[in-house]
Amino acid sequence: MLMGHKTIQNLPESERPYEKAVRYGVGVLSDAELLAVILRTGTRNKTGIELAYDVLEISERYPGLLGLGHARLNDLTKLNGIGTVKALELLCTVELGKRMSMLKREPGRVFDDPKDIAGYFMEELRALETEHFYVVLFDASGRLIRYEPVFKGTINMSLVSPREALRLALDHDACNLIIMHNHPSGDPTPSNSDHEVTVKFYRACSQVGIPLLDHIVIGDNTYFSYRENRLVFGTDDDDTYTPYRKET
């Protein structure tokens, strides 16, 4: 029989997230412990850490923090012990993480290969529940200029036009570009319409002298590169493919 209100203070000091964070830094905390610090309190029958585990199990499809990244307000408030205020605090924390991830897209970055660029954008794109289509711009030396979404939501790839991507490239004096989009299903295998839009972009970019260098499809911790698979773009030895750092 449970007596009284269960709190983190009932735990040994070495197991309390606050004390561990103060002594060793927040980097040593587990995902559940980090969430427990944000939640501050649990319920009468659960500590903050136990409630944090409930949050991490909120999604059947996405495990752990990725599930929290997909959660909506009403998903969280269904959990016993999570009211509107705590739910909003969690969602705001997730949003801050997403914005910090976006800030790391520093101009001047050079990529080694398609895996490198896919990994750079993976955490941001893999958590999206709808398709987002991005253009990534590079200068003549293969340095990152900027990236920007040009289409969002449920995308009919056959209707995606190169016009907006090329406008951005011209506005920012880009010399090369890559297009990239996510598959919310988690499977990056390209569809027939993905093939069609790749060819359409490749031809349009060639006509204006701003080469399209790759189309990368982002899945759940995996990706598909048209360049790597030698579709549309030929071989990896093409010297025009400047965004990827050359071995010396």
**pLDDT (tens digit, 9 = 90+) per residue, 110-140?**
888 899 999 988 888 887 888 999 999 999 9
CA atoms 19, 25, 31, 34: torsion sign: positive
- Mean pLDDT for 31-59 is 92
Q: Which two tokens stand for residue 248?
A: 């010396």
So what's the pLDDT on residue 102? 63
181 pLDDT more than 70? yes
Candidates 27, 88, 79; CA nearest to 57 is: 79
Average pLDDT over residues 93-115: 78
Collapsed DSSP state (helix, strand, coil) of residue 202: helix
pLDDT at 239 over 50: no
Whether the pLDDT of residue 106 is over 80: the answer is no
Note the pLDDT of residue 5: 59
Please give the share of the chain, as a percent, with pLDDT higher than 70. 84
pTM, two decimals, is 0.66
Q: Is the pLDDT reported for residue 70 higher than 50?
A: yes
For residue 54, pLDDT beyond 50: yes
Whole-number average pLDDT of the chain: 85
What is the arithmetic mean of pLDDT over 35-58? 91
Of 52, 10, 12, the C-alpha closest to 31 is 52
Categorize the per-residue pLDDT at 246 as very low, low, confident or very high, splitting at 50, 70 and 90. Answer: very low
The hierarchical CATH code for the domain 105-225 is: 3.40.140.10
Q: Which amino acid is at 53?
A: Y
For residue 165 the two structure tokens come to: 């991507």
Most confident option among 80-89, 94-103, 108-117: 80-89
Give yes or no for residue 248 having a pLDDT over 60: no
Is the pLDDT reported for residue 52 higher than 90? yes
**Rounded Cα gap, residues 207 and 99, in angstroms:** 35
CB count in 10 Å sphere of residue 197: 24
What's the burial of 113, exposed, middle or buried (CB within 10 Å: 0-12/13-18/19+)? middle
Angstrom distance (rounded) from CA 200 to CA 186: 24
Q: Does pLDDT of 12 surpass 80?
A: no
User: Do the beta carbons of residue 150 and residue 109 sit within 8 Å?
Assistant: no
